[in-house]
Amino acid sequence: MNETATPSFPKHLLDFQDWRRTQVESLLETAQMMQEVLARPVKKVPALTGFTVATVFFEPSTRTRISFELAARRMSADVVSFSGAVSSTTKGETYRDTLRTLEQMGIDAYILRTDAAGVPHQAHRWLHKPVINAGDGWRAHPTQALLDAFTLREKLGDLEGKKIAIVGDILHSRVARSNAELLPMLGAKVVACGPATLLPGSLPGTTLTTNLKEALAEADAVMALRLQKERMDKGLLPSLPEYIAGYQITEERLRWARPQAPLLHPGPMNRDVELEGTLADSPRSLVERQVANGQAVRMAVLYHVLVGKKS
Amino acid sequence: MNETATPSFPKHLLDFQDWRRTQVESLLETAQMMQEVLARPVKKVPALTGFTVATVFFEPSTRTRISFELAARRMSADVVSFSGAVSSTTKGETYRDTLRTLEQMGIDAYILRTDAAGVPHQAHRWLHKPVINAGDGWRAHPTQALLDAFTLREKLGDLEGKKIAIVGDILHSRVARSNAELLPMLGAKVVACGPATLLPGSLPGTTLTTNLKEALAEADAVMALRLQKERMDKGLLPSLPEYIAGYQITEERLRWARPQAPLLHPGPMNRDVELEGTLADSPRSLVERQVANGQAVRMAVLYHVLVGKKS
Amino acid sequence: MNETATPSFPKHLLDFQDWRRTQVESLLETAQMMQEVLARPVKKVPALTGFTVATVFFEPSTRTRISFELAARRMSADVVSFSGAVSSTTKGETYRDTLRTLEQMGIDAYILRTDAAGVPHQAHRWLHKPVINAGDGWRAHPTQALLDAFTLREKLGDLEGKKIAIVGDILHSRVARSNAELLPMLGAKVVACGPATLLPGSLPGTTLTTNLKEALAEADAVMALRLQKERMDKGLLPSLPEYIAGYQITEERLRWARPQAPLLHPGPMNRDVELEGTLADSPRSLVERQVANGQAVRMAVLYHVLVGKKS
């Protein structure tokens, strides 16, 4: 049904299962070029003139939506926003009917976010145009992993052999899953760490541990995940103070990692929960750089799926 | 008050009472040209550069809003969106004050949707710029009727003498009312069919019947309407199973119509309520084509009311 | 932290404390030029091509947001809209993190509205790009005061020695506070009038009175403020009928002012509360002119903070 997926370059970004390392590296190189565009006073190129991109967010996320919107507009694409909360989905329309309707309106690419896992994969089969997964349930958030990888390489250079510790609610985290898929592909070793109730049984490509000291030991970088406070109310966590006591990233604990190991967080942060508030603003923090790099990476993704190039 | 309405072409689209057949046909010809623009890789023309169009939706409808927004942007107009749900209407501002305020901001055309009937007609008197009715209560939804007519002509050719069956909740349907106004103007015979509780006392230009077999007999096309499930709770309908038993369009019942008679639906569909879910995806269904044609028709409407031409 | 504030012209608009009279007058002259742009058939200039402006509204106001959006787009800027109600602020993100995140995305100017006073001043310290205050709590709404001043000068000429009466809920009004700051700077005398429970202890630059006749006596212009009905429920006002009896601007009471003294209102009006409904539509009313001038003034503000010029 979908003939846009060529063997030479995926015309979609659902997760990294059908991406090869060379393709990811080529995409990160494009992101580097986009970074240069973003450093100009006029941050706009005509690369996607005449294309119309839809953000289709069945789960709200203003930050991610705006990041994609700006990325698209900076390449001169038109953007329309469909948000589930105010849409006819409440009238019983299915995901499929919504997306097929947008397709009939001539949308050139879909940036899709859902609280249900797997919808972007289904959408890819329903539609004839590129689908970019902007987060589906606990499953995947590939542009976040790409911007994390871009940020890590910017700081650490080649990721071959580097140890990256991911700390927090691994079980419910699409960010953890996408990083666990991508970072090992680029040569990194990933250790995922959290309380036992917040760890999955296994996570391919990663070592799992409940021991924070072990996770941080000799780590080249540390990534704290956002804790969904809603989940704690459901008894998945003993209590917030217990989480903080065992897993909050503090300046002291960060000494377990390599000197100067940077600190990442996908945002928005719960200051003084996942990490000490002061750390977030310290030179160790790459949190703001991640956001800035998100622009470059999303521009590169849109460019690749819409205009493409041979890898 | 409104001097933009010239005798040669209405500078607004409230319903079809002040449109002549030649004018409608001229508009549908423009839509045909827009269809050709939409078939290009770059679906954008400079026809409305410098114009600013406002979608003013006091009743939410993401699909219709996006359809108009895309139509306007593809002709290079700027678009601002005013939505009643998050607006100062909740602070007691009247429709009139909202629209007059937008007029002071230099809006060139209004695409107006309200759950109250008649507001677009009032707006036309309050404002000096074109008003396009995007649906007012049960009264009218003229761009839907235009896209239905466009789609029917595309499939059936000239509508002269053709029988079109409209099935469902006729009483509360602005789609039925606008089609009942427009299709006979183009030569078609319209039969409107539904359970007695969902039929109006009379509907000018149509034959009313509670007998589905009679309605579909020799029909050249069948249009199922969306059933508002909310209404059923209010006792207007005996029950959903009864509606389905009597009025759902099934493959079997569709045999009462002419061979290959196409099936239309304004969307979003309640699959397996108004029609068998499988029918919606069959070659008989024009549902997706209607959405695509909606783009062309709305571009044509915007062009006619803003730039116009002699009929 | 913020080096964009040059001595010659403020690169932000928080209130008028760091603006000099010559700078305000220069800005109003720019607004006059923008007014001329708005009188053209194509109301668009390329002045801000390549700039991206964010409207960041933690307190909803569709009118003000659209006014700024149109102002920005008419100068060819890109606009993204962040609205607190649907954003990650509900997830605990602070104002600061939200704004710093947007900064990382390369926003060139912020149009900020909050129900808390002082946030724009904080934002100005957090950010490296211009901040325009679009209303912060009861504190300030400087573009409203600028458009009021522009409208008054258009009608009355030089404001030197002119008496402007502001009537209504002075205590909770950012509009009153910003006008009390700006109008005296331009030479006007401001009298603020309302029931005792709705007057502040003092308001620099104004004379306060509970006596409407005294306030209107020989006034060159009268400005009625919007009454927040929500506040009356909290017992701040005896009752709506009492307010109307004592402070509603009626045609009769307007005779206390100078002949032809115009009537202003920041909108949206509660007709027949703050003023007689018929007055709002009379030739005395400048309400719609204020909205139109708001476009010109906001274009001028955006131009000054983003492109600037020597005063």
Whether the per-residue pLDDT at A132 is higher than 80: the answer is: yes
pLDDT for position B5:
40
The answer on whether B283 is annotated among ligand-binding residues is: no
Q: Helix or strand or coil: residue C81?
A: strand
Pairing mode, if any, of strands A189-193 and B52-57?
unpaired
pLDDT for position C247:
97
Q: Do B106 and C295 count as a contact with CB atoms less than 8 A apart?
A: yes
Segment 91-120 of chain A within 8 Å of chain C by CB: none
pLDDT for position B95:
87
Q: What is the mean pLDDT of chain A?
A: 91
- Give contacts of C63 with chain B, Cβ < 8 Å: 87-88, 101
pLDDT tens, position by position, A161-209: 999 999 999 999 999 999 999 999 999 999 999 999 999 999 999 999 9
pLDDT tens, position by position, B148-196: 999 999 999 999 999 999 999 999 999 999 999 999 999 999 999 999 9
Question: B307 — phi, psi (to 5°)?
Answer: -105, -40
State the sign of the Cα–Cα–Cα–Cα dihedral A142, A146, A151, A153: positive
Strand boundaries in B131-266, DSSP class E: 131-136, 163-167, 189-193, 206-209, 221-224, 263-264
CATH of domain C142-286: 3.40.50.1370
The answer on whether A144 is annotated among ligand-binding residues is: yes
Q: How far apart are CA B100 and CA B102, in angstroms?
A: 5
Q: What is the mean pLDDT of residues A245-253?
A: 97
A62 CB within 8 Å of a chain B CB? no
For residue A59, give the DSSP letter: S
pLDDT for position A7:
41
Concatenated DSSP letters for chain C?
Answer: --TT--SSS-S-BS-STT--HHHHHHHHHHHHHHHHHHTSSS----TTTT-EEEEEESS--HHHHHHHHHHHHHTT-EEEEEEGGGSGGGGT--HHHHHHHHHHTT-SEEEEEESSTTHHHHHHHH-SS-EEEEEETTTB-HHHHHHHHHHHHHHHS--TT-EEEEES--TT-HHHHHHHHHHHHTT-EEEEE--GGGS-S--TTEEEES-HHHHHTT-SEEEEPPP-HHHHHTTSSS-HHHHHHHH-B-HHHHTTS-TT--EE--S---BTTTB-HHHHTSTTB-HHHHHHHHHHHHHHHHHHHHT----
Q: How far apart are CA B95 and CA B84, in angstroms?
A: 9
Whether the per-residue pLDDT at A90 is higher than 60: the answer is: no
pLDDT tens, position by position, C229-247: 766 666 666 688 999 999 9
Q: Which CATH class is domain B142-290?
A: alpha beta
- Are A136 and A175 in contact by the 8 Å Cβ rule? The answer is no
pLDDT for position C97:
86
Taking the domains of chain B in order of start, what are their residue ranges? 21-141+293-306, 142-290
pLDDT tens, position by position, B12-60: 999 999 999 999 999 999 999 999 999 998 899 999 999 999 999 998 8
Give the best residue of B35, B63, B281 to mutate against chain A (max A CB count within 10 A): B63
A48: nearest CA in chain B?
B42
CATH of domain A21-141+291-306: 3.40.50.1370
The answer on whether C277 is annotated among ligand-binding residues is: no
Whether the per-residue pLDDT at B310 is higher than 60: the answer is: no
Q: What is the mean pLDDT of chain C?
A: 91
Is B142-290 the same fold as B21-141+293-306? yes
> What pairs with residue B83 in β-bridges?
B57
Whether the per-residue pLDDT at A149 is higher than 70: the answer is: yes
Interface pTM, i.e. ipTM: 0.90
- Give contacts of B80 with chain C, Cβ < 8 Å: 66, 69-70
pLDDT tier at B239, thresholds 50, 70, 90 = confident
pLDDT for position A88:
47
Q: What's the gap in Å between the CA of C200 and the closest CA on chain B?
A: 24
pLDDT tens, position by position, A27-71: 999 999 999 999 998 899 999 999 999 999 998 888 999 999 999
pLDDT for position C1:
37
Q: How far apart are CA C223 and CA C242, in angstroms?
A: 20
In this prediction, the residues of chain C whose per-residue pLDDT falls under 70 are: 1-9, 85-93, 230-238, 309-311
The answer on whether C91 is annotated among ligand-binding residues is: yes
- Are A182 and A17 in contact by the 8 Å Cβ rule? The answer is no
Q: Do C43 and B50 count as a contact with CB atoms less than 8 A apart?
A: yes
B49 CB within 8 Å of a chain A CB? no
C62 closest CB neighbour out of B78, B88, B94: B88
- Are B45 and B170 in contact by the 8 Å Cβ rule? The answer is no
- Give contacts of B88 with chain C, Cβ < 8 Å: 61-63, 268
The residue ranking higher by pLDDT, B228 or C72, is: C72
Q: How far apart are CA B62 and CA B55, in angstroms?
A: 11
The answer on whether B10 is annotated among ligand-binding residues is: no
Range B21-141+293-306 classified under CATH 3.40.50.1370: yes
A79: nearest CA in chain B?
B70
pLDDT for position A310:
47
**Reported pTM:** 0.92
Whether the per-residue pLDDT at B306 is higher than 70: the answer is: yes
Give the best residue of B78, B101, B110 to mutate against chain C (max C CB count within 10 A): B101
Q: What's the gap in Å between the CA of B82 and the closest CA on chain C?
A: 7
A78 closest CB neighbour out of B60, B63, B73: B73
Pairing mode, if any, of strands B78-83 and B109-114?
unpaired
pLDDT for position B84:
72
pLDDT tens, position by position, A210-225: 999 999 999 999 999 9
B231 CB within 8 Å of a chain A CB? no
Q: How far apart are CA C177 and CA C172, in angstroms?
A: 9
pLDDT tens, position by position, C66-76: 999 999 999 99
A60 closest CB neighbour out of C52, C86, C101: C86
Taking one residue from B and the other from C, the number of pairs with CB-CB distance under 8 angstroms is: 69
Q: Do A106 and B42 count as a contact with CB atoms less than 8 A apart?
A: no
pLDDT for position A87:
47
The answer on whether A163 is annotated among ligand-binding residues is: no
What are C278's two structure tokens? Answer: 């018929």
What are A46's two structure tokens? Answer: 């005509």
What are B205's two structure tokens? Answer: 């230009």
DSSP run (H or E) holding C96: helix C95-104
Of the candidates B21, B7, B107, B10, the residue with the CA atom closest to the CA atom of residue B304 = B10
The residue ranking higher by pLDDT, B225 or B91, is: B225
pLDDT tier at A239, thresholds 50, 70, 90 = confident
What's chain A's Rg over C-alpha atoms? 19
pLDDT tier at B92, thresholds 50, 70, 90 = very low
pLDDT for position C231:
66
Give the best residue of C43, C55, C62, C227 to mutate against chain B (max B CB count within 10 A): C62
pLDDT for position A238:
65
B5 CB within 8 Å of a chain A CB? no
Of the candidates B211, B167, B213, B169, the residue with the CA atom closest to the CA atom of residue B190 = B167
- Give contacts of B44 with chain A, Cβ < 8 Å: 50, 78
pLDDT for position A6:
40
The answer on whether C64 is annotated among ligand-binding residues is: yes
Q: Tell me the longest C-alpha to C-alpha distance in chain C.
A: 56
- Are C143 and C301 in contact by the 8 Å Cβ rule? The answer is yes
C67: nearest CA in chain B?
B105
> What pairs with residue B109 in β-bridges?
B53
B80 CB within 8 Å of a chain A CB? no
